[in-house]
């Protein structure tokens, strides 16, 4: 029962991490215009994401435009995109595989050892997904930090700082890795060793009494 509860908790955490990673990848708030400095140059707030740029007017009107060309993007942007897409694909495989391997599901319940192995495989998918998300978000955040402090040609109040999608991404990576680790605790080795020993010891004790 404890094992099934642990698997369910791990699955729910990893699923929440995958949904959060999907939200972070879609949101256009990976970096936003900074309001640091003495004066605000413009009343327009700029937000940039992996797929589009948005401008928010002081009146509340928001205009967004998709990135027109993939090849015109910086290398770090293309790398971040690729890592997030890989992360979402790995997380999707983790969602599907873990459902089959969890003890609380009816699929393949005749072979608990194989089910445990499948659950561990799902946990590995989730951990890899979380690591990809963590790498993508941290790399993007490092680039924003570098441009904010090193590029002195741009006024401080015209630079960019962290957007909300970065924090969502860090949270998503943490949930995916935690959930994957809980799923990986389904170790089939003990069950596999215990069953043959029990079967072999039964006839020998019966013969002694005879």
| Domain edges within the chain | 1-28+69-153+160-185
The tens digit of pLDDT for each residue in 6-34 reads: 888 888 999 999 999 999 999 888 888 77
The tens digit of pLDDT for each residue in 100-134 reads: 877 766 665 666 777 788 888 899 999 999 999 99
Angle at 148 between CA 49 and CA 61, to 5 degrees: 40
Q: So what's the pLDDT on residue 210?
A: 46
Q: So what's the pLDDT on residue 108?
A: 57
How far, rounded to the nearest angstrom, does the alpha carbon of residue 152 sit from its chain's CA centroid? 34
Contacts for 105-112: CB closer than 8 Å, 24+ residues apart: 112/188, 112/191
Q: So what's the pLDDT on residue 44?
A: 66
Of the candidate CATH numbers 1.20.140.150, 3.40.50.880, 3.40.50.360, 1.10.10.10, the domain formed by 1-28+69-153+160-185 belongs to 1.20.140.150
The tens digit of pLDDT for each residue in 173-202 reads: 999 999 999 888 866 544 444 444 444 445
Q: 31: burial class by Cβ within 10 Å (0-12, 13-18, 19+)? A: buried
Residue 146: count other Cβ atoms within 10 Å of its Cβ.
11
Q: 209: burial class by Cβ within 10 Å (0-12, 13-18, 19+)? A: exposed
Q: 125: burial class by Cβ within 10 Å (0-12, 13-18, 19+)? A: buried
């Amino acid at each position: 029962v404890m094992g099934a509860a642990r698997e369910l908790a791990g699955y729910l955490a990893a699923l929440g991490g995958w949904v959060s990673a999907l939200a972070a990848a879609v949101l256009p708030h990976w970096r936003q215009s900074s309001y640091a400095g003495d004066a605000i140059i413009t009343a327009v707030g700029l937000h940039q994401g992996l797929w589009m740029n948005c401008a928010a007017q002081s009146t509340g009107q928001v205009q967004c435009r998709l990135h027109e060309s993939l090849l015109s993007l910086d290398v770090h942007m293309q790398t971040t995109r690729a890592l997030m897409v890989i992360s979402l694909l790995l997380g999707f495989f983790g969602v599907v595989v873990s459902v089959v391997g969890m003890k609380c599901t009816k699929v393949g319940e005749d072979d608990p050892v194989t089910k445990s192995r499948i659950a561990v495989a799902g946990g590995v998918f989730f951990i890899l997904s979380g690591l990809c998300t963590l790498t993508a978000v941290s790399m993007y955040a490092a680039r924003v930090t570098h441009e904010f402090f090193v590029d002195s040609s741009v006024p401080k109040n015209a630079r960019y700082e962290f957007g909300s999608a970065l924090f969502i991404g860090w949270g998503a990576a943490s949930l995916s890795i935690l959930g994957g680790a809980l799923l990986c605790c389904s170790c089939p080795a003990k069950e596999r060793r215990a069953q043959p020993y029990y079967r072999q010891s039964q006839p020998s004790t019966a013969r002694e009494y005879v």
